[in-house]
Every structure is written in C-alpha cells, then in structure tokens.
Amino acid sequence: MGTVDGKLNDVSMLGSVRNFAETAQFEQMFKDGMGMVEEAASYLDGEGRDHAKTLSRKGALAYAAESMRLTTRLMQVASWLLVQRAVARNEMTVTEARTQRYRLGAKELCYARPIEGADELPHPLADMIARSRRLYARVDRLDKMMHGDASEVEPKTAVARQLSKIESAFRQMKAEDRLH
C-alpha cells in the first residue's frame, strides 16, 4: 500500500476498504452486526422488559445502564459497517470515511467496565452484552487497521454523560444503604 508521510493514501485505502467490504468476512460481520441490532431491539422491547421488572434496585440500575451501552455499541458498529459498504459502492469517499464523524465512536462508553449490579442481569442480556463487546472490539481493530488511529480526542457523548449520572446516583444509593 502507498503511504504519504507514514499514512495510507486514498488510492491504497480505497482498494483496501473496497476489497474488505467485498469479502465473505465482511459480509458475515455485516450479517452478525445487523442481526445483533435486531436481536437486541426485540429483546429490549419484549422479554427484556419483563426481566427488568424482576430485578432489585441495583440490578434495575445496571439493566438501564448496560442496555444503553449495548444499544450504543451496536449502533456504532452498524454505522461503521454501513460506511464501509458505502465506500465499496462508491457512495462515499475514503477521505470522508476517515473523518472522525464516520469513525467508530463512543469508545469510552463502549469499553467502560460494567457497573455494579451487572452480575444480576438476565442471561440473555448478559450474553448479548458479551457478544457486542467482542464485535465492537473487532470492528475497532479493523477501523484502526484500515483508517489509522483516530488522533482526535473523542468528545463525551450525551449517552456517556447520562451513564455518569446513573453511576453517580448508584454511588449515592450505595452510600445511603450503608447508613441504614
């Protein structure tokens, strides 16, 4: 691949992105990613609601936080996959795809450790979370290989701010429980 100042140029990146997006590996990743989006939506809208009602207060907070992280992680993966496909179909340039706007985002949120109470999560949700973490990490590695390491510091997202508030409330609740 050609480089300019140590960075891959668009000509070589274009071939790399197009070639990857046309592989069976990409198609399987695309299918898996989109399938997980549908699976999570179905679970969280159906059976997951029933499961959430049976959790303790600590478990319910973890359910809210971790389901938000799950959907964020999956939306980031789905967006990234769609961008790669758009480049392969000449609907978008590699230069556009390499901008921060189209890169895999929300890393701070998506890689954050599970909050306290996550051990109470229903098995179907815990399983989806684990699989989404592996898929997100895989896409992150591919993104870095194909487009380089993002140099900009990612701004804190609205979801990350909300999760921080949930974690703060959880710490306060834990402190109150110690007083009783």
Q: What is the mean pLDDT of residues 64-80?
A: 97
Q: What is the mean pLDDT of residues 62-91?
A: 95
Q: What is the pLDDT of residues 16-40, one digit of tens each?
A: 777 788 888 999 999 999 999 999 9
For residues 121-151, b (16+ Cβ closer than 10 Å) or e, as one string? bbeebeebbebbbebbeebbebbeebbeebe
Whether the per-residue pLDDT at 72 is higher than 70: the answer is yes
Q: What is the DSSP letter of 19?
A: H
Handedness of CA 81, 41, 127, 109 (dihedral sign): positive
| Angle, CA of 87, 156 and 42, to the nearest 5° | 65
Domain ranges (residues) in the chain = 3-179
**How confident is the prediction for the chain on average, in pLDDT?**
84
State the architecture of 3-179 in CATH terms. Orthogonal Bundle (1.10)
| pLDDT tier for residue 11 given thresholds of 50, 70 and 90 | very low
| pLDDT tier for residue 120 given thresholds of 50, 70 and 90 | very high
Q: Distance (Å, rounded) from C-alpha 63 to C-alpha 126?
A: 10
pTM of the model: 0.76
Q: What is the pLDDT of residues 137-177, one digit of tens each?
A: 999 999 998 887 764 434 556 666 676 677 666 666 666 67
Whether the per-residue pLDDT at 135 is higher than 70: the answer is yes
